[in-house]
């Protein structure tokens, strides 16, 4: 299993760019990197997924260095509504979810 | 994106009773669904993997006789908490994959169980 390590918490201010880094030193060749957002009392919501280099969608960017041992989720110009827990998942589905284990997540608090 | 729905969103029951939680994939067929539980301020813990037409695979430490999982169709999986006790009070979340191997999961809204 690719264990992930993220900061427990981060604070930011509205309008700033936020970068959350996840370490996954034992990532396997087949593993993808996926980030989820979770608000209190809700199920996690998919944000972005990547395998290598950079991926960008309408809400975030994901930077993955060549060795893939870490990844950085970048949220441009955060707002108060971006306050949530962000999880980095590393894994690959092969008939079992054991390879998709949630780490502790990062509590992002956006301040006015 | 794909939609997964859970029902009920919250339930309160007396100790000793059984509670069933449903997880439906609304716009796709899910051969595999996953059940998690989450305690306050903690991460999601995988309980079991539910496969359509076969027995669920439980994670170590999860009692299969206590948490009954049935995946009778490609769009529905159910989790039944049998003889519930206050320590079973938690937030239960299901997720499903559309069959891709990339690990993109679609989560339900979660079900809050409170056992009195």
Among B26, B55, B93, B102, which would you mutate to test the A interface (most chain A Cβ atoms within 10 Å of its Cβ)?
Answer: B102
- Per residue in B40-74, pLDDT (tens digit) is 989 999 999 888 888 899 999 999 999 999 988 88
Two tokens, residue A36: 């989820």
- Chain A nearest CA to B16, separation (Å): 25
In 3-state terms, chain A is what percent helix, strand and coil (to 5)? 5, 45, 45
Contact A102 B44 (CB under 8 A): yes
A106 or A94: which leads in pLDDT: A106
Strand order in the sheet with B67-73: B4-7, B19-25, B76-81, B67-73
Q: A100: nearest CA in chain B?
A: B103
- Per residue in B98-114, pLDDT (tens digit) is 766 666 789 999 999 99
Among B47, B49, B103, which would you mutate to test the A interface (most chain A Cβ atoms within 10 Å of its Cβ)?
Answer: B103
Max CA pair span of chain A: 44
- On whether any CB of chain A is under 8 Å from the CB of B58, the answer is no
Pick B103's closest partner by Cβ from A41, A42, A100: A100
- Per residue in B69-93, pLDDT (tens digit) is 998 888 999 999 999 999 999 999 9
- Chain B nearest CA to A91, separation (Å): 6
- On whether any CB of chain A is under 8 Å from the CB of B54, the answer is no
Closest-CA residue to B24 (of B14, B33, B36): B33
Q: How confident is the model at residue B28 (pLDDT cuts 50, 70, 90)?
A: confident
Pick A105's closest partner by Cβ from B4, B43, B109: B43
Residue A45 has pLDDT above 90, yes or no: yes
Closest-CA residue to A24 (of A54, A66, A69, A65): A69
- CA Rg value for chain A: 13
- Per residue in A54-101, pLDDT (tens digit) is 999 999 999 999 999 999 999 999 999 999 999 998 876 654 555 567
Contact A102 B43 (CB under 8 A): yes
Contact A41 B59 (CB under 8 A): no
- Burial class of residue B111, CB neighbours in 10 A (0-12, 13-18, 19+): buried
d(CA B66, CA B59): 13
């Amino acid at each position: 299993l690719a264990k992930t390590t993220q900061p427990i918490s981060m604070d930011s201010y509205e309008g700033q760019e936020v970068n959350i880094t996840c370490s996954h030193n034992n990532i396997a060749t087949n593993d993808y990197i996926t980030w989820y957002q979770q608000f209190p009392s809700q199920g996690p919501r998919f944000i972005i997924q990547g395998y290598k280099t950079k991926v960008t969608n309408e809400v975030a960017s994901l930077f993955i260095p060549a060795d893939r041992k870490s990844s950085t989720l970048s949220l441009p110009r955060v707002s108060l509504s971006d306050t949530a827990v962000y999880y980095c998942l590393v894994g690959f589905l092969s008939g079992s979810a054991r390879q998709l284990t949630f780490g502790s997540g990062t509590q992002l608090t956006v301040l006015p | 994106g794909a939609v997964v729905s859970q029902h009920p969103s919250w339930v309160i029951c007396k100790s000793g009773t059984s509670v069933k939680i449903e997880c439906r994939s609304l716009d796709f067929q899910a051969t595999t669904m996953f059940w998690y539980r989450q305690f306050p301020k903690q991460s999601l813990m995988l309980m079991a993997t539910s496969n359509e037409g076969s027995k669920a695979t439980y994670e170590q430490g999860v009692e299969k006789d206590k948490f009954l999982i049935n995946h009778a169709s490609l769009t529905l999986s159910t989790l039944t908490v049998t003889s519930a006790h206050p320590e079973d009070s938690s937030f239960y979340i299901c997720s499903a994959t559309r069959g891709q191997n990339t690990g993109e999961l679609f989560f339900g809204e979660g079900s809050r169980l409170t056992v009195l």
